[in-house]
Structure 1
Amino acid sequence: MPLVPLHIRGKKGKKRSAAQISSTASASSTPASSSSSPGNEVTRSRKKPHGSGPGSSRRLSILERLPVEVLVLVFTESQNVNLMYCNRHIHLALDNKYSLVRLVTRAFAPTWLKHFGSPRSREVEAPDVPPIYGAGRRDIARLQENLLAKKFFTIDLALSAQQLWFDEFRPSKSGRIHCLPNCKCSCCAGNGAAEDAIFNASQSFERDFQLAKDSVSRGVEGWSGFRSRQDVEVGIKLNPKRLHGPWDEDTEKLIFWLVTGGIFVDHQNWDPQVCINIVLSHANAARDINPFFAYNARALVSFTHWPLYEAYPFYLRNKPDPPGSKWDPVRLKFNEYLHGTFDGHDSRDIRRMRRDAGRDVDDSDAPYDPDNDYWDSDDDAGYAY
């Protein structure tokens, strides 16, 4: 049976002659001269950003059309931190110290109004004691916790906000204000002399911080006795990301302000690996350990329940060398914290780990003696950090 031929038709259109096709091609390949008439000049429209220009199809939102002063007021009163991340226009209007100081002031005002001038009820050296929320104040704590997790929250921002709060909303209750330690003046917040009371947040904090730094340089453990104030809402938990090293001085000050200001360090419920990473970020062999972290590390991270494979080499690296050699008291402090981790392990587990690392080549079954076990730089290859 013969095949049926198929005829496929294209678009119908007027056929162009060869002369027309060649003239069109030559016109498109020849650039227009600068002396050509305006009617024949080829113009190129420049691409405009989305949402800009009078001819844009996108209309500005109600918030974007507000004056900056009103937008800042909405930002601070709503306490919606995510507002500044809505779009580029709002972010540029709100991402500045003026707006952020007022946001922090508004968020921490209920705490400062209640606790300003009153001593802390619990010891500074035990920030890991579970706190008790005040009645109806969980939302306040949640809001402050959200702010503390942001990168823009710095010690300068916190002190500026507290100064602004005191200057504009001077506390009416009687009681001593946060004056300098051992101040002999009658610095009371109330009537009479209180109207003349002077509070300088930066000076007061700086004095406390330098006293704590001086105590650390003398090998005193802990920060107690230098500052005991409820500057953050009771129940706020410290984000462990804040503790990662290395620290500069601004980070030291912020951690000091938070810990001595009543934040809850819930390190007992952190994953042990989180604590390990924090300590190793400060105890890198290539640099000195931050003493300000070391002498308060036990209150900031947990040294218990570390995996033996992580705790044991760290312990050996920070032990003092054999008698007569130089040793670092700051590194030795970490070893005191680790005793409860690996000393409680079965000595057979430690011997097995030593054999696996090539440290016990004789495969000895003698009892393990941690006091006679020292770190050798040749053994670095046996451990992973």
Structure 2
Amino acid sequence: MSLTPIKVKGRGRRKKWQPPDPSRIRNNRRKREDEDDQENAASHSSKSPKRLKKNGNKKSELEQLPTELFWPIAVMSQNPNLMMVNKQFRKTLSARSFLLELAVGAFGPTWDKYFGLSKASLLASRQHETDQCPGDYKFQGDVLAARWMNIDLLLQAQQVWYRQQGTKRCWKKSQCIYWTLNTQTPQDQEGQQAEGVHEAQEAGDKEPDVPEIQVWFDQEWQEFRGAFSAVDDHGSYKRGLIMGIAEDKNKGYLDLHPLTPVPDRLLKGPFDLQKTKLLFWLVRGGARILPQHSWEVTRVGFEQIMSLEGDNITLAPYLLFFYHRLGVFEWGHWPDFVLQEKADWLDEMLRKVSRADAPEKYRLYKFTLLWVFQLATYTRAHG
């Protein structure tokens, strides 16, 4: 009688390896797909359960909205950073058409009331008070601080807003924000013109239509640049020009809320032509340095201006003037020790830089020391 063999797991002869039967694999796969067809929609019959689970995530209610409904909601949220939530939002809200709508939503209320009116006319009628100015200054500041905002988009947004009005606006061109001996108009004459503009506007009379916003802006930019033709080789200006700049701060328009902060990226540089033009638009539109602005930021910006090279060095006088009009060099922003520190630095640089070897740098340092800092000292002494 033979003994019963005892089988122990792991013992005995190992089976020879054979490749899997393809027909068996196909049958198992077909069986799983048939089971999936019974549980899922017919459109997903060819996908594996893992793929179905991955693509089955539902979109948010905002993402499911059509673009024509989503854009107005995004504008009313007054949050330019909404496009950073996810890739779908970034794709939908990065279109130039939406960015224009966002800019119009931010600045439109202010333009509705003040567009086409010079600052002098607003001062005469006391319509410039902060509590009476429409528009959300925080929303405007957030839009200006966005990386995608530039002067071309802002002017195009203003043109879009103007066309949306459907009617002509009463428009009073302001004087150039830069006082010059050739273009200066007596203040009383401008005040009389301003009163006539308000009377015509209240009566419903319309002046000739405003030109294209870009053309209008370019004209005033050229006027502003032309005012600097008075500078001589020594970096100084013709007699009376400095005093005129110091005394006349009521030119320009009111294109933004008085409490709208100037973004740090436009104050500390680095600077190029596009940023310079955007600063010109802000200064022309009534921007000012506010208490929340840090003098450390503007000191960095001043150093960036002094370090401009090549073609950009021609922008330095414009930027310094913008700093002056914004109030950077005033006592309430720059401390005395910072002003003295930069004046001493300019003295040292004038001794080091040769007028023959680096005429542009020498002229810039001379201009800054003789005009900007003398004007700042005069302003601090006379309030």
The residue aligned with 2:103 is 104
| Partner secondary structure for residue 261 of structure 2 | coil
Which residues in structure 2 correspond to 1:145-156 (within 5 Å)?
145-156=141-152
Q: TM-score under structure 2 normalisation?
A: 0.63
Partner Cα distance (2:263, 2:295) in 1: 15
Partner Cα distance (2:150, 2:89) in 1: 22
1:76 and 2:99 aligned: no
The residue aligned with 1:317 is 349
1:140 and 2:136 aligned: yes
1:330 counterpart (364, 370, 379): 364
The answer as to whether partners of 1:319 and 1:335 remain within 8 angstroms in 2 is no
| Partner secondary structure for residue 279 of structure 1 | helix
Partner Cα distance (1:285, 1:205) in 2: 25
| Partner secondary structure for residue 306 of structure 1 | helix
Partner Cα distance (1:269, 1:318) in 2: 34
| Partner secondary structure for residue 277 of structure 1 | helix
The residue aligned with 2:154 is 158
Partner Cα distance (1:207, 1:136) in 2: 27
Q: 1:317 to 1:180 in 2, by over 3 A?
A: closer
CA shift, 1:332, in A, is 1.0
1:208 counterpart (220, 231, 244): 220
Partner Cα distance (2:62, 2:73) in 1: 9
The answer as to whether partners of 1:171 and 1:189 remain within 8 angstroms in 2 is no
The answer as to whether partners of 1:117 and 1:177 remain within 8 angstroms in 2 is yes
The residue aligned with 1:378 is none
Aligned-pair Cα RMSD in Å? 4.6
Q: How many residues align?
A: 303
The answer as to whether partners of 1:133 and 1:235 remain within 8 angstroms in 2 is yes
CA shift, 1:229, in A, is 0.7
Which residues in structure 2 correspond to 1:1-385 (within 5 Å)?
14-15=9-10, 17=12, 19-20=14-15, 23=17, 39=25, 56-121=55-120, 133-135=130-132, 137=134, 140-170=136-166, 175-176=170-171, 194=206, 197-219=209-231, 228-266=252-290, 270-284=293-307, 287=310, 288=313, 290-300=316-326, 301-302=328-329, 304-306=336-338, 312-318=344-350, 328-336=362-370, 337-338=372-373
Q: Which runs of 5+ in 2 are unaligned?
A: 1-7, 30-46, 177-182, 184-195, 232-236, 378-383
Higher RCO, Cα 8 Å, sep 6+: 2
CA shift, 1:309, in A, is 6.0
Q: 1:280 to 1:76 in 2, by over 3 A?
A: same
User: Counting helix residues as a fraction of each chain, which structure ranks higher?
Assistant: 2
Q: TM-score under structure 1 normalisation?
A: 0.63
The answer as to whether partners of 1:68 and 1:93 remain within 8 angstroms in 2 is yes
Partner Cα distance (1:249, 1:161) in 2: 20
Q: 1:111 to 1:67 in 2, by over 3 A?
A: same
| Partner secondary structure for residue 110 of structure 1 | helix
Q: Residues 105-124 of structure 1: CA distance to partner in whole angstroms, max 9, x if unpaired?
A: 12212111111222214999
Letter in 2 for 1:167: R
Partner Cα distance (2:227, 2:374) in 1: 25
Q: State percent identity of aligned pairs.
A: 21
CA shift, 1:101, in A, is 0.6
